[in-house]
């Protein structure tokens, strides 16, 4: 897959993930260095937000906007993933009051490769493409967006509508036949 960085095409490495597919498990790290696993089956719906760098205006504004949009949503685990350095991430989270999402670092680029987001060339080589994924409690991807131009923002309305639909979806479960009626 390709996106553009300021109009220049770049290739993304890793496996492209589609709606209806299984979400892989990916390891990421807290700013303190503890390993976490995101993706796959989980007790709550997951919103995974890939952020190229919180040091840029578009990324920092996007992180703050998502933080505001997610206030009060229950039954959702929100994870922002970046490749920024731990000290900067800690300072950003504290300074900006990011409290409705966890911010992790893709130190090994495991998340980037498993979700097809690793920029493979150019001045943003080894950074993440801007994207978001929603994963239901069964580990199925229900929404994806990989922004075609790195300087553009995610479609917040479409993403939040998809979050609402996934969080409030009724589980299908087993339907009993009406075998007792004659």
Query: pLDDT tens digit string along 54-87?
Result: 999 999 999 999 999 999 898 999 999 999 999 9
- Give the residue, 48 or 123, on which the prediction is more confident: 48
Q: How far apart are CA 36 and CA 70, in angstroms?
A: 21
Assess whether pLDDT exceeds 70 at residue 182. Answer: no
Q: How far apart are CA 87 and CA 37, in angstroms?
A: 21
Inside any domain, residue 32: yes
> What pLDDT, on the 0 to 100 scale, is given for residue 169?
85
Domain count, the chain: 1
Structure tokens at 179: 């075998």
Structure tokens at 60: 């920092």
Residue where the block lists tokens 């920092």: 60
**Could you tell me the CATH number of the domain that includes residue 128?**
3.40.30.10
Inside any domain, residue 179: no
> What average pLDDT does range 20-32 have in this prediction?
97
118-119, strands of its sheet edge to edge: 2-5, 8-13, 118-119
Structure tokens at 43: 């007790």
> What average pLDDT does range 131-137 have in this prediction?
97
Strand spans (E) along the chain:
2-5, 8-13, 25-29, 35-39, 45-50, 76-82, 102-105, 118-119, 131-135, 141-146
Domain span including residue 146: 2-167
Instruction: Just list the catalytic residues.
Output: 59
> What pLDDT, on the 0 to 100 scale, is given for residue 74?
86
Decide if 135 contacts 23 (C-beta within 8 A): yes
Mean pLDDT over each residue of the chain, to the nearest integer? 92
Assess whether pLDDT exceeds 80 at residue 174. Answer: no
Inside any domain, residue 36: yes
Inside any domain, residue 180: no
Assess whether pLDDT exceeds 80 at residue 175. Answer: no
What is the percentage of the chain residues whose pLDDT exceeds 70? Answer: 93
Inside any domain, residue 174: no
Inside any domain, residue 176: no
> What average pLDDT does range 161-174 have in this prediction?
81
């Amino acid at each position: 897959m390709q996106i553009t960085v300021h109009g220049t095409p770049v290739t993304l490495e890793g496996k492209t993930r589609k709606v209806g597919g299984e979400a892989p498990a990916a390891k990421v790290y807290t700013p303190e260095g503890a390993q976490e696993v995101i993706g796959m089956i989980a007790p709550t719906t997951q919103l995974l937000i890939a952020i190229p760098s919180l040091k840029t205006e578009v990324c920092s504004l996007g992180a703050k906007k998502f933080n505001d949009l997610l206030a009060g949503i229950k039954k959702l685990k929100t994870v922002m993933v970046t490749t920024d350095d731990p000290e900067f991430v800690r300072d950003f989270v504290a300074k900006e009051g990011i409290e409705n999402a966890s911010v992790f670092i893709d130190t090994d680029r495991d998340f980037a490769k498993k979700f097809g987001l690793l920029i493979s060339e150019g001045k943003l080589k080894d950074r993440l493409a801007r994207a978001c994924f929603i994963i239901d409690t069964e580990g199925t991807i229900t929404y994806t967006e990989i922004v075609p131009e790195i300087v553009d923002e995610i479609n917040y309305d479409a993403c939040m509508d998809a979050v609402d639909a996934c969080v409030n979806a009724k589980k299908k479960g087993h339907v009993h036949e009406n075998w007792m009626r004659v």
